[in-house]
Structure 1
Amino acid sequence: MTSPEQANTAENPWPVRTISFKIADWIHRLGAVWVEGQLTQINVRRGTRTAFLTLRDPAADMSLSVTCDPMLLQRSAVPLTEGARVVVYGRPNFYAGRGTLSLRITDIRPVGIGELLARIERVKALLAAEGLFDPRRKRPLPFLPHTVGLISGRASAAQRDVLAVAAARWESVRFDVRDTPVQGPTAVPAIIEQLALLDDDPHVQVIIIARGGGSVEDLLPFSDETLLRAVADCRTPVVSAIGHEPDTPLLDLVADVRAATPTDAAKRVVPDVTAELRAIAELRRRSAGALRNWVHREERVVEGLRSRPVLANPLRMIDDRQDRVDAAVRDIRRSTRHLVTVEEHRTERLAAQLATLGPAQTLARGYAVVQRTDIDQPRAVRSIAELPDGGEVRIRVADGSAAAVITRSDAARPQHPSTQEDPQ
C-alpha cells in the first residue's frame, strides 16, 4: 500500500495532520536563535504556566508571537513593559493542533541605554560613510510654501505649537496634517507611509516631522535606519523638529533643515508676514530716498552745466570772433584785388611783348608775306625756287593783300650785310 508521503495527488491528498507535522518538522530544524524586537503585548494569566508576548519589528509592520515561562518575566532585572526593546533567545515552535507559529524563549534581556546609543552610533557611522549627512544634499526651503505637510502625534503639543505659531506669522498658510504615532513599535511604519504620501503630493512644498521631547527610548524611531533612508530619498525638503535643543536624533542630520523645537520649525518654514511687510515698507522708503537723492544730484549737475559761459551765452564765442572774421574777410578781399591787379599788369606786359614780336609789326616796317595760292595747301614762300613762272601768289602787306602772277623770277645776288639797304 502506498504511503501518503509517497503519493500526493488530487486523488490521494495529504491529510491536515500530515502537512502540519511536516511544517513542524522543518521549523523545529531551525534551532535556537537570538532575536531583537519591541514588546507590544504582555499577557500573563494567573494560574497558568505560559506567558504570551508579541515581539514587533520596530522598522517594519511585522510581529511574532512569543511564549515563555511567567517566571522568566519576573526574574528580569529591569521591569518589562510594553514598548521595551529586548533581545530574546528561543526556538521556533509550530503548534500542529492549531497551526500556529510562536517563538518559545528561554532567555530575555532588556536592551539598555548604552546598547541603544551604541547601535545609534553604528547607524550614524554607516549613513555618514554613504554621504547622507553631506551638506551639499540639503535642499533650500521655499520662501512662501503653497502647502506645508506636518507629521506629528494626534492633538500633541508639538502639533499645536507648529499650527499656532504658523497661523500667527501668516494667517493664509495651509497645512496638510498627518497624525501618526511618534513612539512605540508602530511609529516608524506609520511615519514612512505618511511621508511617502506627502512627498507625492505636488502641492506640498515642505514637510515638517515634529515631536515633543522625551527619553532616548521614546525618540528611537527618529534614529531608525529605515526612516532615515526614506527621508533622504524624499524629493520635498524635510524639516526635523524632534524634541528640544539637547535632543539630537539622527533625523536631525539627514533632514534638510534641523529645527531646535517645533516652534522653531514653524518660524523657519512660515515667514512672518508682519516682519516682511515692515521690510518691504523699509525697502520702499529707502528706494524712494535713493531715487530722490539721485534726482537732486543730477539736477545739481545740470545746473552746473547750465551755469558755464558756453551754455549761459552760447553766441558769445561767435560775437567775440566776429571782428576777427570781418578783418579776415577784408584781408582776403584786399589780397584778391592786389592779385588781380598784378596779373592784369603782367597780362598787359605780355600782350605788348607779343605785339612787338608778332608779324603785324614786321609788316608795318615795310615787309610783305608771299603765299602760293595755286596749290592744295597754300603756304608762305621761303625760296625763289618756289615761284615758278605763271604761278599764282598772294602778297600780304601791312594794310592788306593783293593777288599776282609770276612772269619772271630772278635769283638775288649775295650782298655784304653792311651794304644792304633798309626796305623802306
Structure 2
Amino acid sequence: MQAILSLGELTARLKYAVENQPEFQNIWVDGEISNLTIARSGHAYFTLKDAEAQFRCVMWKTSVSRQRYPLRESDQVLVHGSVTMYAPRGELQLQVNLVQPQGVGLLQLQFEELRARLEAEGLFDESRKRPLPTLPRVIGVVTSETGAVWHDIQRVISRRYPLAELVLSPSLVQGDLAPMSLVEALRRLLDEVQPDVIIIGRGGGSMEDLWAFNDEHVVRAIYASSVPIISAVGHETDVTLADYVADLAAGTPSMAAELAAPDLEQIDLALQQTRITMSVELQRSLDRLLEHLDDLQRQLTRLSPESRLAQIRDELNTLRDRMMRATSHTLTIATRDIEAAGHLLDSINPHAILQRGYAYISNASTGSPVRSVHDTVAGDPIRATLADGDLLATVSATREREDS
C-alpha cells in the first residue's frame, strides 16, 4: 500500500523540490504589477501578471529599502528573485529582491542615473557654457541629411542671415549605430571645417527614438567641443542629456537656427539706430568741446599780456582820473580859502583903511601912535598919516568925549 502523506509532509516535499531546483532560483520574470501593498513592516506584496497568468510576489523590507526604482501599480517591470513555497497556506510565491522598469520606465531610470553621474562630474555646469558668436561666418549642422531638420535650418538661415555658410556633417540620429555616428560627425566638423557654432539635433519622436542623444559618448563629445553647440532634439517638451551639456538648448531645430544666426533686418535697424545715436552723441560732444574751447579762449584772452596791459592801462587811467578829480577838488577848496583869506587881509590892510578916509595919528617927535586923547597934550607935535601923504600939526587942546 502506498504511503499516506500528511499535508505538512506534502508541502515540505514541494517546498524542498521547488526551492532546490536551479531553474526556479535567481530568475528574471516580466509582467505587470497589480494589487500592490506596502505593509507597515516595510515588506511589499504584489501580484505579477500578464495575459496568460499571475503569480504572487513578496519583497522583504531590506530589498525594498535598496530599491532605486519606486514600485508603482500597473507598471510593466522585470523582477528578479526565486520561487519559494509558503507552507502554512501551501502557496507558491516569488521572493523578489530587485524590480526594474521595462520600456520607457527602464530608459528613464538609466537616464536619471547617467544624468546624476555626469552632473557630479561637472559636465552640466552653467559656468562652463559659452556665449554664441554674434555674427557667425560658418554654422555647422549635425543631423540626418534626409530629414526635415536640415531643410528647416537651411530655410531659417537663408531668411535671417544668408551671409553665413551652412555646412552639414550628416549623421544617423536613431538606432544602435547613431551614437558613434553623431560623435564622428562632430569630429569631422571640428577637424575639417572649424565652424563658429554647431547645431546638433533631430526631429521629434519617442524616448527610444531620441535615445542616441542620451548616450554618454555623445554627451562627452559635446562637452569636449572647442566651439559652442546648440542642441535641438525633438520638440519643446523633449529633454535629452545633450540639452544639459550643450551651451544652449533650443526647443526645436528651427528655433536653434534662429538662435545661431542674427536677423539681418534687425541688424540693419540696429545699425541705423546706432548711427542716429552716435550722431546725436557726437554733436553733443562737439558742442561741449566748442563750449570748452570758448571758455579756454576767454581765459587765454583774460590772461594774455595784451589783456593784462590793457587792464593795467585802464586801472592807471582810472587812478589818473581819480587823482585829477581829487587835485581839482583840492585846488578849488584852496582857491576858495585863499580868496577868503585875501578878503580878510584886504579888510584889515591899514592902507585900505586909510583909503576909506581914516588917518593914522602918531607923535611927530617920538613916532608913538596916538590911540587916545590921553596919549598927547596941548602943544605936542603930531603926524596924521593919510592914504596919499602926511599932515603935520600941533595939538592945541584935548577934549574927551562925554559918552566914552
TM-score, with length taken from structure 1 = 0.48
| Equivalent residue letter for 1:274 | E
User: How many Å apart are 1:33 and its aligned residue?
Assistant: 11
Matched, 1:180 2:171: yes
User: How many Å apart are 1:279 and its aligned residue?
Assistant: 1.1
**1:145: which partner in 2?**
136
Q: Which has the higher helix share?
A: 2
Structure 2 CA distance for aligned equivalents of residues 254 and 265 of structure 1: 15
Instruction: Identify which of 306, 310, 321 aligns with 2:315.
Output: 321
Map Cα deviations across residues 365-417 of structure 1 (whole Å, 9 max, x no partner): xxxxxxxxxxxxxxxxxxxxxxxxxxxxxxxxxxxxxxxxxxxxxxxxxxxxx
**1:263: which partner in 2?**
254
Matched, 1:194 2:179: no
**Residue correspondence of structure 1 range 301-340 to structure 2 within 5 A:** 301-303=292-294, 310=302, 314=307, 316-323=310-317
**1:273: which partner in 2?**
264
Instruction: Identify which of 216, 219, 226 aligns with 1:225.
Output: 216
Structure 2 CA distance for aligned equivalents of residues 230 and 325 of structure 1: 94
Structure 2 CA distance for aligned equivalents of residues 273 and 126 of structure 1: 42
Does the CA contact (< 8 Å) of 1:166 and 1:266 recur in 2?
yes
Does the CA contact (< 8 Å) of 2:199 and 2:232 recur in 1?
yes
**2:237: which partner in 1?**
246
Structure 2 CA distance for aligned equivalents of residues 133 and 160 of structure 1: 30
Does the CA contact (< 8 Å) of 2:161 and 2:261 recur in 1?
yes
Matched, 1:290 2:281: yes
Structure 2 CA distance for aligned equivalents of residues 209 and 268 of structure 1: 13
**2:67: which partner in 1?**
none
Structure 2 CA distance for aligned equivalents of residues 295 and 144 of structure 1: 32
- Over the aligned positions, Cα root-mean-square deviation in angstroms equals 3.6
**1:125: which partner in 2?**
116
Structure 2 CA distance for aligned equivalents of residues 116 and 203 of structure 1: 34
| SS of residue matched to 2:142 | strand
User: How many Å apart are 1:178 and its aligned residue?
Assistant: 2.1
Distance 1:278 1:33, change over 3 A: farther
Structure 1 gaps of 5+ residues are: 1-31, 35-73, 76-85, 90-108, 328-424
**1:102: which partner in 2?**
none
| SS of residue matched to 1:143 | coil
Does the CA contact (< 8 Å) of 1:223 and 1:249 recur in 2?
yes
| Equivalent residue letter for 2:129 | K
**1:214: which partner in 2?**
205
**Residue correspondence of structure 1 range 1-400 to structure 2 within 5 A:** 111-303=102-294, 310=302, 314=307, 316-323=310-317
Structure 2 gaps of 5+ residues are: 1-25, 29-50, 53-76, 81-99, 322-404
Map Cα deviations across residues 283-319 of structure 1 (whole Å, 9 max, x no partner): 1111111111222233345556667894899354122
**1:8: which partner in 2?**
none
User: How many Å apart are 1:220 and its aligned residue?
Assistant: 0.9
User: How many Å apart are 1:136 and its aligned residue?
Assistant: 2.1
Structure 2 CA distance for aligned equivalents of residues 181 and 112 of structure 1: 22
Distance 1:206 1:307, change over 3 A: closer
**1:370: which partner in 2?**
none
| SS of residue matched to 1:131 | coil
User: How many Å apart are 1:254 and its aligned residue?
Assistant: 0.8
User: How many Å apart are 1:111 and its aligned residue?
Assistant: 3.4
Identity of aligned residues (%): 36
| SS of residue matched to 2:196 | strand
Does the CA contact (< 8 Å) of 2:169 and 2:188 recur in 1?
no
Does the CA contact (< 8 Å) of 1:310 and 1:317 recur in 2?
no
Distance 1:236 1:294, change over 3 A: closer
Does the CA contact (< 8 Å) of 2:213 and 2:219 recur in 1?
yes
Structure 2 CA distance for aligned equivalents of residues 179 and 240 of structure 1: 15
Aligned residues: 230
Does the CA contact (< 8 Å) of 2:137 and 2:163 recur in 1?
no
Structure 2 CA distance for aligned equivalents of residues 183 and 304 of structure 1: 75
| Equivalent residue letter for 1:177 | L
| SS of residue matched to 1:201 | helix
Does the CA contact (< 8 Å) of 1:146 and 1:203 recur in 2?
no
Structure 1 CA distance for aligned equivalents of residues 298 and 168 of structure 2: 71
**1:4: which partner in 2?**
none
